[in-house]
Amino acid sequence: MDSALVMIQVLNGLQLGVLLFLLAAGLTLVFGIMDFINLAHGAFYMLGAFICATLALWLDSFLLAVLLAVPLTFVIGVVVELGIARQLYQADHLEQILATFGLILIADTLVQMIWGPEGLTFALPEILNGQVRLFDDVEFPVYRILIISVGLLVALALYVVVSHTRIGMLIRAGASNRRMVQALGVDIRMLFTLVFAAGAAMAGLAGLMIAPITEASIGMGNEILIVAFVVIVIGGIGSVQGAFFGAMLVGLIDTLSRSFLDDFLRLFLSHQAAETSAPAISAMLIYILMAVILTFRPQGLFGARSS
Amino acid sequence: MIKNFIPGALALIILALPGVGSAESVKIGFVTTLTTGAAVIGNDMRDAVNLAVEDLNGRMGDRDIEVIFADDGFKPETGKQVTDKLVKSDDVDFVAGYIWSHVLLASQKSVLNADKFLISVNAGPSQLAGKLCHRDFFSTSWQNDQTPMAMGAVLSQRGIGKLYVMAPNYAAGKNMVAGVERTFKGEIVGKDLTKWGKDAQLDFSAELATAKASGAEALFVFYPGKAGGAFMKQYEQAGLADKLPLYTVFTVDAISLPKLQQANMKAVLGSLTTGFWGPGLENPQNARFVEGFLKKYGRYPSFYAAQSYDSIFLINSAVESVGGNLQDRDGMRAAMEKADFPSVRGSFSYGANHFPIQNFYLLEVVADGNGNWTTEIRSTVFENHQDTYVADCDL
């Protein structure tokens, strides 16, 4: 276990972290501000991936595909908010869960009808396909560095918007007390649409960034959404900062435990026992973390509300 | 009166319905994965079954063939449910299919306890080859360990001393690892079993980084279905193509290759895999199958398709041998034990546990005459190879 490997695994953990953050940021805002549990948030992640893959194959340009796919998922977000999500804000959580679970099934089936069950894959431009030498013996794929950079930039932009602009002030106010914002005469419906669609666009961005690595496949959003929910619970519902630190924590713990738990357990378990128990324990670790945090801070690390 | 009449009539109709077709037809339930990303495999198998039925002109021993496809949703519990339905409500004569070892293990009792024949078209878990072997169970594929055992032998022949192993964490993944460990003579310097199932791990960055740092001379992986494509892309992106040569089983196949070609993942060309079959294997039945499949569907069949095609011909040999008398189960069993049917793998025989005793080949990924990527047989690794678990089977 040398330092170069640890460094690479930390970068891998950060990469998973920023993806989780992009997904969790929208989820936490929608949940925090509209009090709306959107299980179908992962559908935007999937749609972003499929739209980008299709465009990349058509236009033969990854950059153009990304530039078009993100606004497109934003527009889909607006449509879904106006057409469907808006009717559900007043409903209780169980109804929201049922309705958005239905949306997942519809989205997955639509994707299967349009693109077929086998998923889509496309090549990265040559320039992104290589490795970059960070230090003497630390090499890391260029594309994964790009994912980390884009993710951090979006996080920074979101921080500036949420903390230093008027719209951000409204978003924060909405997260801590929705009724008061409404009572003050803010056009809350417009704000809701904007937040929902921005969340969709960020999820789409996460999906299209992972697509060249794992390919676009049906249900890819549902798989990662569960972890994104863990992230927002850890970070505190409604808090973008919480989503960021929660995502980084989960990304790092998940990646590092997958790579090093085996060696660690070998210190006091037999070779065979360590080998079989390590994958099981590392799969559980983030949930254990969530349980521990909920025990000591039920509102999460950066919880806006103490409900 | 009317109130009582309607349910009564309905019940009569429902009772009568299954009888309509079953008197004449051979009913085959076929369980595979038709939803989730793994549906690509299931669709390939379904296409092959339909082709086989067509090639038999829809008839087996003067009876119509009726195939009922069922979706296991890539989950053991769903697989068991649809199997129960096929056995109890559809009352099929044969249950065939099963891609996944964990699904087959969950479902096998439902079939075998109901005195039906169970034909595994892909999954070959060690349990069913050994302790759980059953007289009514047959395989048209292989026991899970065999293909990686062939790969382990190839790796040793090539003088590789240090190997890194990656596979998904489920029944077959463990069998694959056990298989390669059994014949590989060098040292295994690292091993990763990754999360599998509906929310399988598809980002292998951490594992690939560890593999690269481990000092291994070669990388052995088993990632069936969509995970195979994802793995290959990351293997190329991690810059391992010229540092850590790749040896795979059931990962690079006719299902992943067209997509890899579309994405221009050249790292896969020249990579080696082992298997019991390749589209170019020379025998009349295979030529008929591959040509027919290419003509009908415009793509190469996968090994999953080959095994599915074989399963229908195996069932046909059983039904023909008893002249269509489906009550003669002993006769059908005896016929299947002979493996006396045209198989795409050429002639072979069944071991005591009803797994094939067959050849295994080394295959290389190449571009064919038309530029399509496919696998080509390079050499024979094992001749008439039998799995090791047969010793635990007391049939």
Q: Which three-class secondary structure state does DSSP give residue A132?
A: strand
User: pLDDT at residue B100 above 80?
Assistant: yes
For tokens 């003050």, what's the residue? A184
The answer to whether A237 faces chain B, any CB pair under 8 Å, is no
Q: Give the pLDDT confidence score for residue A307 in this predicted structure.
A: 43
**What would the mean pLDDT of A230-237 be, rounded to a whole number?**
92
Could you tell me if B26 and B69 lie in one domain? yes
Q: B10 exposed, middle or buried (CB, 10 Å; 0-12, 13-18, 19+)?
A: exposed
DSSP secondary structure code for residue B28 in this structure: E
Residues in A 148-207 with any Cβ partner in B closer than 8 A: none
Domain ranges of chain A: 3-296
What is the bridge-based pairing of β-strands B349-350 and B272-275?
unpaired
Query: pLDDT, tens digit, for every residue of B246-276?
Result: 999 999 988 888 888 887 888 888 889 999 9
Answer yes or no: do A141 and B233 touch at CB < 8 A.
no
**Residue contact B209–A217, C-beta within 8 A:** no
**Domain range enclosing B129:** 2-142+282-354
Report whether pLDDT(B7) > 80.
Answer: no
pLDDT reported for residue A126: 82
Q: What is the CATH number of the domain that holds B374?
A: 3.40.50.2300
pLDDT, residue B17, reads: 47
What's the rounded mean pLDDT across residues B47-56?
A: 97
Pairing label, strands B246-248, B272-275:
parallel
Asked if B341 and B251 sit in the same domain, the reply is no
The residue among B81, B82, B120 whose CA lies nearest residue B101 is: B120
pLDDT over 70, % of chain B: 94
Higher-pLDDT residue of B183 and B3 is B183
Give yes or no for A298 touching B (CB within 8 A): no
Size of interface A-B (CB pairs under 8 A): 111
User: Are B256 and B270 in the same domain?
Assistant: yes
- What pTM does this model have? 0.79
The two tokens of residue B304 are 């999953």
pLDDT tens track for A159-194: 999 889 998 888 888 877 878 888 888 888 888 899
Do B127 and B21 belong together in one domain?
yes
- Per-residue pLDDT, B217: 94
Q: Are A26 and A198 in contact (CB under 8 A)?
A: yes
Which residues in chain A are contacts of B192 at CB distance < 8 A?
258
Contacting A residues, span 44-63, partner chain B, CB-CB under 8 Å? 57
Residue B8: per-residue pLDDT: 52
CB B290 within 8 A of CB B374: no
Q: Which among B198, B194, B225 has a CA at the least distance from the CA of B207?
A: B194
* CB within 8 Å: A141 and B199: no
Same domain, B226 and B337: no
Mean pLDDT of A277-288: 88
Are B75 and B60 in a shared domain?
yes
pLDDT of B18 > 80? The answer is: no
Q: Are A255 and B236 within 8 A, CB to CB? A: no
Report the DSSP pairing between strands B356-367 and B373-385: antiparallel
Is there a single domain that holds both residue B197 and residue B111?
A: no
Nearest CB partner across the interface for B37, out of A9, A130, A217: A217
| Mean pLDDT of chain A, nearest integer | 89
* Cross-chain residue pair A118–B37, CB shorter than 8 Å: yes
Backbone angles phi, psi at A23, to 5 degrees: -75, -40
- For residue B395, the 8-state DSSP code is -
At residue B23, the pLDDT reads: 53
pLDDT for position A305:
53
Residue B38's CB is within 10 A of a number of other CB atoms, namely 27
Do B59 and B154 share a domain, yes or no?
no
pLDDT at A306: 45
Query: For the domain A3-296, what is the CATH code?
Result: 1.10.3470
The answer to whether A20 and A247 have CB atoms below 8 angstroms apart is: yes
Of B43, B191, B213, the CB nearest to A117: B43
The residue written with tokens 């509209």 in the block is A34
Distance (Å, whole) CA B129 – CA A274: 28
Least confident residue range of A136-140, B204-208, B382-386: A136-140
- Of A141, A210, A212, which has the smallest distance from its Cβ to B238's Cβ? A141
CA–CA distance, A205 with A13 (Å, rounded to integer) = 18
Is residue B21 very low, low, confident or very high in pLDDT (cuts 50, 70, 90)? Answer: very low
Q: Helical H runs in B113-225? A: 126-129, 146-157, 171-183, 205-213
Partner B contacted by A239 (CB < 8 A): no
- The burial class, CB within 10 Å (0-12 / 13-18 / 19+), for B159 is exposed
Percent with pLDDT over 90 in chain B? 72
Contact B203 A213 (CB under 8 A): yes
ipTM of predicted assembly, 2 dp = 0.73
Do B9 and B112 share a structural domain?
yes
Pair (B87, B173) in one structural domain: no
pLDDT of residue B290: 96
Closest residue of A to B193, CA-based?
A279
Enumerate the H helices of B266-394 as residue ranges.
Answer: 284-297, 303-321, 329-337
* CA–CA distance, A299 with A250 (Å, rounded to integer): 17
pLDDT digits (tens, 9 = 90+) for B151-162: 999 999 999 999
pLDDT at residue B237 tops 90: no
> Of B267, B202, B233, B232, whose CA–CA distance to A128 is shortest?
B233
Q: Do B125 and B166 belong together in one domain?
A: no
Report residue A210's pLDDT band, with 50, 70 and 90 as the boundaries.
Answer: very high
Q: Which residue of B has its CA nearest to A10?
A: B206
Strands B218-221 and B187-194 come out as unpaired
Number of structural domains chain B divides into? 2
Question: Which tokens hold the place of A252?
Answer: 């790092």
Mean pLDDT along residues B190-205 = 83
Q: A41-89: per-residue pLDDT in tens? A: 999 999 999 999 999 989 989 999 999 999 999 999 999 999 999 999 8
Q: What is the tens place of the pLDDT at every residue in B266-315?
A: 888 888 999 999 999 999 999 999 999 999 999 999 999 999 999 999 99
Q: What is the mean pLDDT of chain B?
A: 90
Q: B interface mutation test: which of A215, A224, A229, A287 has the most B CBs within 10 A?
A: A215
What pLDDT is recorded for position A138? 77
pLDDT score for B4 = 55
B195 with B170, same domain? Answer: yes
The reply to whether A106 touches chain B by the CB within 8 Å rule is no
Q: Which segments of chain B are extended strands (E)?
A: 26-32, 59-60, 63-71, 94-97, 117-120, 137-139, 162-168, 187-194, 218-221, 246-248, 272-275, 349-350, 356-367, 373-385
Torsion (CA) B388, B391, B392, B395 in degrees, nearest 10: 120
Note whether B90 and B68 are within 8 A (CB). Answer: yes
How far apart CA B297 and CA B306 sit, in angstroms, is: 14
Q: Do A121 and B213 touch (CB under 8 A)?
A: no
Count CB-CB contacts under 10 A for residue B182: 13
